[in-house]
């Protein structure tokens, strides 16, 4: 099978963010950083948008890496924020394009509401957030965090998320996001492979009930991102059991955000076998090869 050839060999990191969402670096710089950390197969997975693919793909191929186009689609199950990674789908698929536009649009209004609310207690205005955002970016709380840093209110993103941006502080607002079933179905309809990102983080976004995860599997879910620094050890064991029972794809990734998070490219990786399965399954777009 061609995808098992040596050019796919080497560490694969399938979850990286650029400044087209809440990473701090351009797509090309993200690929250079991944390469510098030993990654040889990389996916760009910005939140709810695909505009970074061309730049990242060209940079990766120049560096002799394999590039997989991807996205981290925002979804929601009851009160839980659920992130669904989509790989190798058609970026022009109408349903998926419409859904991402709706999410991104609502994210802007939601960020404005959060900032207005914070602005009653701190010296923060919407312009401060705009100043931290590239025109291409999917706006999120990390940009509000950057504005709080620029204003000298907190030291870094971590302090912002542990403090002012934490829901307990009362400034939090949700944004529109589709149900995970819809998210998975859209990625499949667009010819992609759907993988639940960091399914078992500690704290607020606890794992979806197993019965619901089984509904996602019935709908064609491809697998889980298991090796991720925010997944709990208990959760990883549960996920490995479910994945084995259903012969699902399991991935490991860094969720690199540039300087926005401590996560480094290649800190978790996906096996060549799993990369091959992922590529074999997808019909919406193809990997970019060196
Ligand atoms: P939002 O989707 O706007 O609610 O923001 C959530 C995003 O914030 C996630 O995708 C993470 O990338 C980022 N994030 C969450 N917690 C932290 C943290 N402690 N430090 C830096 N970034 C974080
Ligand atoms: Fe993020
Ligand atoms: Fe995520
Ligand atoms: Zn992510």
pLDDT tens for 65-95 read 999 999 999 999 998 999 999 999 999 999 9
In terms of Cα–Cα distance, which of 78, 54, 31, 55 is closest to 265?
31
Q: Is residue 58 part of a domain?
A: no
- pLDDT > 90: percent of the chain: 93
Instruction: For residue 123, give its domain range.
Output: 108-169
Q: Is residue 148 part of a domain?
A: yes
- Locus of tokens 């950083």: 33
Q: Is residue 262 part of a domain?
A: no
Number of domains in the chain: 1
In terms of Cα–Cα distance, which of 94, 100, 130, 98 is closest to 112?
130
How far is the centre of ligand 3, averaged over its atoms, from the C-alpha of 5 (Å)? 30
Q: Are 220 and 196 in contact (CB under 8 A)?
A: no
CATH number (domain holding residue 140): 1.10.150.650
Q: Is the CB of 228 under 6 A from ligand 1?
A: no
How far is the centre of ligand 4, averaged over its atoms, from the C-alpha of 85 (Å)? 8
Q: Is residue 201 part of a domain?
A: no
Q: Is residue 260 part of a domain?
A: no
Residues with CB under 5 A from ligand 2 (ion): 22
pLDDT tens for 160-200 read 999 999 999 999 999 999 999 999 999 999 999 999 999 99
Q: Is residue 153 part of a domain?
A: yes
Q: Is residue 61 part of a domain?
A: no
Q: Is residue 219 part of a domain?
A: no
């Amino acid at each position: 099978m061609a995808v098992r050839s040596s050019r796919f060999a080497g560490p694969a990191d399938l979850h990286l963010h650029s400044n087209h969402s809440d990473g701090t670096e351009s797509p090309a710089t993200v690929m250079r950083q991944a390469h510098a950390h030993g990654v040889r197969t990389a996916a760009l997975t910005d939140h709810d948008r695909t505009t970074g693919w061309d730049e990242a793909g060209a940079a990766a191929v120049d560096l002799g890496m394999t590039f997989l186009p991807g996205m981290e689609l925002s979804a929601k199950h009851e009160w839980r924020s659920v992130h669904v990674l989509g790989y190798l789908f058609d970026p022009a698929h109408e349903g998926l394009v419409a859904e991402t536009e709706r999410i991104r649009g609502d994210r802007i209004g939601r960020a404005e509401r959060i900032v207005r609310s914070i602005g009653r207690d701190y010296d923060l205005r919407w312009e401060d957030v705009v100043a931290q955002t590239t025109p291409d970016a999917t706006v999120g709380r990390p940009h509000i965090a950057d504005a709080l840093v620029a204003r000298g209110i907190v030291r870094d993103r971590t302090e912002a998320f542990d403090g002012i941006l934490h829901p307990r502080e009362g400034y939090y607002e949700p944004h529109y996001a589709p149900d995970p079933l819809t998210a998975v179905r859209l990625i499949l309809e667009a010819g992609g492979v759907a993988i639940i990102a960091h399914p078992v983080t500690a704290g607020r976004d606890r794992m979806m009930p197993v019965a619901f995860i089984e509904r996602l599997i019935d709908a064609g879910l491809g697998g889980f991102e298991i090796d991720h620094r925010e997944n709990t050890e208990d959760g990883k064991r549960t996920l490995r059991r479910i994945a084995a029972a259903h012969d699902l794809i399991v991935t490991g990734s860094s969720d690199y955000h540039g300087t926005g998070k401590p996560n480094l490219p290649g800190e978790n990786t996906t096996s060549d076998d799993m990369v091959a399965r992922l590529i074999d399954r997808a019909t919406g777009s193809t990997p970019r090869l060196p």
